[in-house]
Amino acid sequence: MGVDLSVAETVFPLAEVFTISRGSKNEARTVTVTLRHDGHVGRGECVPYARYGETVESVMEVISSLAGEFASGLDRQALQNRLPGGAARNALDCALWDLEANQAGRRAFELAGLAEPVAVRTAFTLSLDSPETMREKASRNAHRPLLKIKLGGEGDIARLEAVRAGAPDAAIIVDANEGWSPETYAALAPEMLRLGVRMVEQPLPADADGALAQMDRPLPVCADESCHDRASLPALVGKYDMVNIKLDKTGGLTEALALKRDAQAAGLGIMVGCMVASSLAMAPALLVAQDADVVDLDGPLLLAEDRENPLLYDDMGVHPSTRELWG
């Protein structure tokens, strides 16, 4: 008997409105996959992203269309060629890892040949807002060791100044979400250095990032929208210093681990990021985040409520999942 597949939308209200350069939202719409086989269960979660032409409905349709193939024995390795990278394959791939771990009575990290994971320090994201509001949010979160600041609009220097004033001791990284021009980046780079920014993520649009190869990069530049999977890497070398690995882009943990290995071999630093989602989506990403240069797995901290058996966040960072949650 093959694997039984079910898929559902799961909506999580956010603790407060979340804004980036492309828009705002007050809830996280995720897709949950559940796989069942011979009394064992595996789950995975993904976040469809309009930036890549995905919707909750389209992703659920793709996943549902594979029910017959899973019943006939489609496995994780075959899935890598059956679907392209993206949210649908991510949820299925992570659910298969969870199912395989439960079937084997072992943890997913063991199946992947990895060392036992430990807690890692994660960034906490401040969404795009007025300088006054961002200073207030920075002050509330000044105890956190690493703040990620969403920018990408007129007045970004004022926003950075406000955040630094609100959290004078926190390390800061910046995410422009493709919101700058080369001229804007060149003007902002020395100001970011002055304010102690450690790294800037995707300053230019992915289809116009060639300019980075000819520009001075006085602080590390990380590819996000320009980096999806291993096929992305050749075009990134010489333009970027780091890559942001997100499972919703790679299409799951399987490709994410391979991308990490190849990116490190190419001399690129590693950031592991996430969409705004629950602990179920963060749990497999934590395996990739071990020894990463920057970790940004704060999705559950932005929710008003999380799943049962959630990840633990404390002064040490975010801790690996329990068996009851995933893997």
Tell me the C-alpha distance between 318 and 299, whole Å: 11
**Nearest CA-CA partner of 300 in 321, 316, 315, 280:** 280
pLDDT in tens, 289-316: 999 999 999 999 999 999 999 999 998 9
Q: Does 137 qualify as catalytic in the annotation?
A: no
**Residue from 137, 239, 246, 249 carrying the catalytic annotation:** 246
Sequence-distant contacts of 54-57: CB under 8 A, at least 24 apart = 54/86, 54/87, 54/88, 56/9, 56/29, 56/31
Band (pLDDT 50/70/90 cuts) for residue 1 is: low
pLDDT in tens, 239-250: 999 999 999 999
Can you give the C-alpha Rg of the chain in angstroms? 19
Q: Which two tokens stand for residue 267?
A: 């001399």
Q: What are phi and psi of 185, to 5 degrees?
A: -60, -45
pLDDT in tens, 164-195: 999 999 999 999 989 999 999 999 999 999 99
Continuous segment of H or E residues that includes residue 43: strand 40-46
Q: Does 246 qualify as catalytic in the annotation?
A: yes
Which whole number is the average pLDDT over 14-23? 81
**Residue from 148, 150, 239, 260 carrying the catalytic annotation:** 150
| Chain centroid to CA 46 | 10
* pTM of this structure: 0.96
Which has more confidence, 24 or 253? 253
